[in-house]
Amino acid sequence: MIQKSRTWQKVLSKMELQVSAVFFDLWISTLQFIEFKNFDKVVLLASSQTAKTQILKNHISQLETCVEQAFGMGVTVEILDPEEMSEYVTKNNDNPKLQQIQDSIINGENKNPFNPKYIFDNFVVGKCNQFVYAAARAVAEHPGKRFNPLFIYGGVGLGKTHLLHAIGNYIHRNNSDLQIMYVTCEKFTNDYISSLRNGNSESLTSEFREKYRNLDILMIDDIQFISNKTSTQEEFFHTFNDLYQNNKQIIISSDRPPKEISTLEERLSSRFTSGLIQDIQAPDFETKVAILQKKAQLEGYSVDDDVVNFIAEKITSNIRELEGLLGKVYFFATLIGQKTATIETAREAFKEDLDDKKEKIKPEDIVSATCEYFNISDAEIKGKKKSRECVEPRMIAIYLIGELLGIPLISIGKVFNRDHTTIIHARDKITEQLKTDSRLKTIISDIKSKLNF
C-alpha cells in the first residue's frame, strides 16, 4: 500500500508540471489514492463531484498518461466522487482494506483541514501586503525557524485568514509529518471551557494540553477576542510558552496590533522581540483590480474589464465585500442570459445600493472629504486660487459630485460659485484623465472610500 501511494506521489509530481498551479491545488492535489485494482486500474477518490467533473473535463488525458508512466503501460484510471466511493466499497467487499480507507476518510484522518482556495498562489501581492506575504511564506517554508511568533494584524477582509490557511495548505502538502493546528480564538476558548466542564481540573488540563501542546505549528485566528477572557488567556500563555520553548511555530492574527490588546502585550512583549509583528494594509486600486480578476478567474466568472474597475473604484477596502459585489454582478448577468457581465449590468446590479447612498450624501460632504484628503480648507477649494494644490482638488470634488450624486450642473456650480461651463470643463478633464492616470484613480477611489461609497 505504502509503495503504491509513493507511486501515486510520482503521478502528482508529474501532474504538477502539466497543469496550472491553481488547478493543481484545487482539484488534483485533493485526489486520494484508493487502490491499484488487479494491477490494471488505479482507483482515485475526488474530494467532491465538482472536483471529479473538473478533472474529467479538463485534464483527464494528462492524468491517464502520468498514471501509465508511473504504474505501467495500459493501466487505466477510475475517479470516484464521495457518493460513488460508498457504492464502490460495498461492491468490492473482497478487499477489507477498502472499508478501512473509507472509515479514515469519513473520520477526516489525513484530510487537509484548510480551505483549498486559500493558497499562496491565489493571494495577490501588492504594496499593501508584500511584507506580510513574504513573512508568511518564510514561516511556511521554515516553521519554527524564521519569525516566531508571527503576528499578523489588519482590518476586516484584508486577507489574514487567507494567509493562515495558505501556510497550512503549504505545510500540509510539503511537510505533512508536522502536526499543525488552525483554530479561531473562539474555538480555542470553547475547547478550553468545555474541557473545564467535562471533568476535574487534572483531567481537563491534560486532555486540553495534549491537544494543544503536541503541535509543531499552532495558528490562532482573530486573537483580539481573547482580551476579556481571563482564564482562557492564562491557558493561552501557558500553551504559548510551552510551544515557544520547544521551538514550535506560533502564528497569530488579530484586527489590531498587540499593544492594543493590553494583557497580551504585557505577557508576551519579550517574546515578540524574537518574532515579527507585521501589518496588512488596505489594498490600493491596482491591487483591488488584480484581486478581483483573480477571483473571477477562480470562480469562472466572465466579466468585462470595466466591470472590475467599476467595482474596485466603488467600494471599501474590505476584499470580502468586493468579492461579494463581483458575485452579485455575475449573478445578475446570468439571470438575463448574459455570458459576459457588462458595465451596464454592473450599474443595474448596484442601482439600489447607490440610490440609498445618494440620498444620504450631500455635495458638501464630498467637498469636505476632498478637502480632508488634500489637507486644504473649504475656502481654498471653493476660492479663486489657481495653484495646482487648489485646482486639482476642486476639479476632483466637482467630478465626484457629478458622478456620485448626478445632480444638475447648475447646482454643482452653486456649491463652487462658478458657472456651468467651468463645471463641464472640470468634469470632462477628470473623466479624460482617469482613462490613463492611475494615480488619479487611486485618489478618487480613496475619497469614495472615505464617503463609504
Q: Which residues bind ligand ADP (CB under 6 A)?
A: 118, 122-124, 129, 156-162, 291, 294, 319-320, 323
Q: How far is the CB of 274 from ligand ADP (least distance, A)?
A: 25
Instruction: Provide the 8-state DSSP code for 278.
Output: E
Q: Is 340 left (phi over 0), alpha (psi -120 to 50) or beta?
A: beta
Q: How far is the CB of 378 from ligand ADP (least distance, A)?
A: 36
Among Mg ion, ligand ADP, none, partner that 159 touches (CB below 5 to 8 angstroms by kind): ligand ADP
Q: How far is the CB of 115 from ligand ADP (least distance, A)?
A: 8
Q: Which is nearer to ligand ADP, 1 or 156 (CB)?
A: 156
Q: Which is nearer to Mg ion, 160 or 248 (CB)?
A: 160
Torsion of CA 125, 129, 135, 136, to 10 degrees: -70
Q: Which is nearer to ligand ADP, 52 or 162 (CB)?
A: 162
Rounded CA separation 155/146 (Å): 25
Q: Is 436 exposed, middle or buried (0-12, 13-18, 19+ CB in 10 A)?
A: exposed
Among ligand ADP, Mg ion, none, partner that 288 touches (CB below 5 to 8 angstroms by kind): none
Q: Which is nearer to ligand ADP, 47 or 287 (CB)?
A: 287
One-letter amino acid at 159 equals G
Rounded CA separation 384/424 (Å): 17
Determine if 161 is a binding residue for Mg ion (CB under 5 A). Answer: yes
Q: Which is nearer to Mg ion, 215 or 223 (CB)?
A: 223
One-letter amino acid at 57 equals K
Q: Is 171 exposed, middle or buried (0-12, 13-18, 19+ CB in 10 A)?
A: buried
Q: Which is nearer to ligand ADP, 312 or 398 (CB)?
A: 312
Among ligand ADP, Mg ion, none, partner that 129 touches (CB below 5 to 8 angstroms by kind): ligand ADP
Rounded CA separation 372/132 (Å): 29
Determine if 254 is a binding residue for Mg ion (CB under 5 A). Answer: no
- Map grid coordinates 476642486 to a residue: 394
Angle at which helix 388-405 crosses helix 409-416, to 10 degrees, equals 150
Task: Judge contact between 76 and 44, C-beta under 8 A.
Answer: no
| Binding segment toward Mg ion, per CB under 5 A, in 115-123, 152-160, 166-174, 261-269 | 152-160
Rounded CA separation 183/189 (Å): 10
Among Mg ion, ligand ADP, none, partner that 124 touches (CB below 5 to 8 angstroms by kind): ligand ADP
Among ligand ADP, Mg ion, none, partner that 303 touches (CB below 5 to 8 angstroms by kind): none
Among ligand ADP, Mg ion, none, partner that 158 touches (CB below 5 to 8 angstroms by kind): ligand ADP
| Binding segment toward Mg ion, per CB under 5 A, in 40-48, 130-138, 159-167, 194-202 | 159-167
Determine if 249 is a binding residue for Mg ion (CB under 5 A). Answer: no
Q: How far is the CB of 280 from Mg ion (least distance, A)?
A: 11
Among ligand ADP, Mg ion, none, partner that 172 touches (CB below 5 to 8 angstroms by kind): none
Instruction: Provide the 8-state DSSP code for 226.
Output: G
Among ligand ADP, Mg ion, none, partner that 316 touches (CB below 5 to 8 angstroms by kind): none
- Torsions phi, psi of 304, nearest 5? -65, 155
Q: How far is the CB of 252 from Mg ion (least distance, A)?
A: 12
Q: Which residue is nearest to ligand ADP (CB)?
A: 159
Q: Is 116 exposed, middle or buried (0-12, 13-18, 19+ CB in 10 A)?
A: middle
Q: How far is the CB of 225 from Mg ion (least distance, A)?
A: 11
- Map grid coordinates 471529479 to a residue: 52
Rounded CA separation 160/223 (Å): 12
Interface residues toward Mg ion, by CB under 5 A: 160-161
